[in-house]
A and B are shown apart, each in its own frame.
Chain A
């Protein structure tokens, strides 16, 4: 049932002329349901690139991702669609995650429309999502610019939860937030994980955040991943 990265390498600019810049090489780790793997490392070492590869948003130069035992490269279209739905990514800056010209209700219901959820069910699930993330219903009528960073990050998580993910790649989920809101989001992530058994890949340069959240953790530095605590 796990999501496994096997000998992943990423080299930028490796075209016909060869050469290119190696970001990381032979990176392997495993995400398990209900557990958090923390990924630390300095800026520019490829943490976010690795996260995007795990979420299927980018391809590795070499290596494979196995979702529930099947390699991504051999998946049929329907299987791959399921993988993309079950493995989601939450980004650093929640303001970039919402259309600034649309009300929150539109951005949330868009996800449910894509899943062909009927109207009444859409309302029920949206209300349920707001309850889970601790937000009042009034936020639905607002535009992103009218909400705080913390409220938007809760909504970003809530919108992901509507897709019933099994794994979420959390790319610096609290680094744009202040300490009090950071604490709220971390506790919310833990609560959601306990209730729904979601596995997290938590990417952060903040060691305290990673240690607070993770069951195991690794350091990506100089192109290599060292699992420093299991």
Chain B
């Protein structure tokens, strides 16, 4: 399969408070890049994502997993170019031969929703409470001018039929009834399905799902899983699945990338990762699962404003060596998987 999206050396940082920013800007031109990391840390700048490189193949489901605050959602927002203006993004995100980070906002707006779409966390907040579901589902069609060059009535009929089709695809057998509903009338699970319908109405080639199962009960998670499976069968869409629900990831993903403190620490195909995890953090993460007795990883993840020297996981690692505390390991690739650890073969 061809590569659909390739992220190379992505760095995303957020500046600290205003005074700190001023100091940083003053000294920025004078200092060399090497010194920048140290300076950023001293001034409270948080580097949420460091030197991240991953690729997503056509029709593939790639899962991004890791602890809360490790930078998973920041990667999704960087792809969509939805990060706040105060963020500093470096590296490249190549999609369809273009570097998304180099596109003008107008060009990016043409891709957003049509070629690359996102399902945000918390469906109740992602939907507008004052517009009907039908209206919100038709929005991507209006924005991307799907109905151009036709009469008003014909456009409306076509839009309605597409919205109905999208609702049917996510399991609403009576779509015209649900088009008149408002988000507050519906459960979290229903709103999540409306969001999936809205995000896939234009058949994007890449769908990003940011914690889609968060806060849903077991039955709703199972429904959601079926939605994604159905979507993959019916369309050519590739999926970037961001989740901390490892069971959900295991059942859906083709490959899994594990993130820790802003870095990728392991990438492998799903069965290899769950059956023979290599990085000590991945092993710890899997041991925290209910079926393995909720064994916690000792300690806390480091603040991204001042990650430890050497391997970022070393303060919590039970197999660390002297070298792990001094040198920062690189992501080593072999036999289709990659691990960032000196102690892994």
Contacts and interface: CB of A to CB of B under 8 A. Distances in A.
Interface of B: 65-69, 187-189, 214-220, 244-246, 284-285, 288-291, 294-297, 300-301, 303
A44 B218 CA distance: 13
Contact of A43 (B69, B217, B285): B217
**Residue of B65, B219, B294 with most partner-chain A CB within 10 A:** B294
A178 B294 contact: no
A207 B296 CA distance: 18
B27 to A, nearest CB: 23
Contact of B217 (A186, A187, A205): A205
B69 A149 contact: yes
A136 B302 CA distance: 11
A183 B68 contact: no
Interface string A82-108: 000000000010000000000000000
Given A42-B217, A205-B218, A212-B290, A183 B189 contact: no
A148 B69 contact: yes
Contacts of B288: 179-180, 182-183
A209 interface: yes
Size class of the A contact interface (CB-based, 8 Å): 20 to 34
A36 interface: no
7 contacts: A134-B300, A148-B67, A177-B244, A179-B244, A179-B289, A180-B285, A207-B218
Contacts, number: 72
Interface of A: 42-44, 92, 134-136, 146, 148-151, 175-184, 186-187, 205-209, 212
Contacts of A42: 217, 219
A208 B290 contact: yes
Contacts of A183: 288, 294-297
Please provide the 6 A-B residue pairs with the shortest distance between their CB atoms, ordered closest to farther.
A178-B244, A208-B290, A205-B217, A183-B296, A183-B288, A149-B68
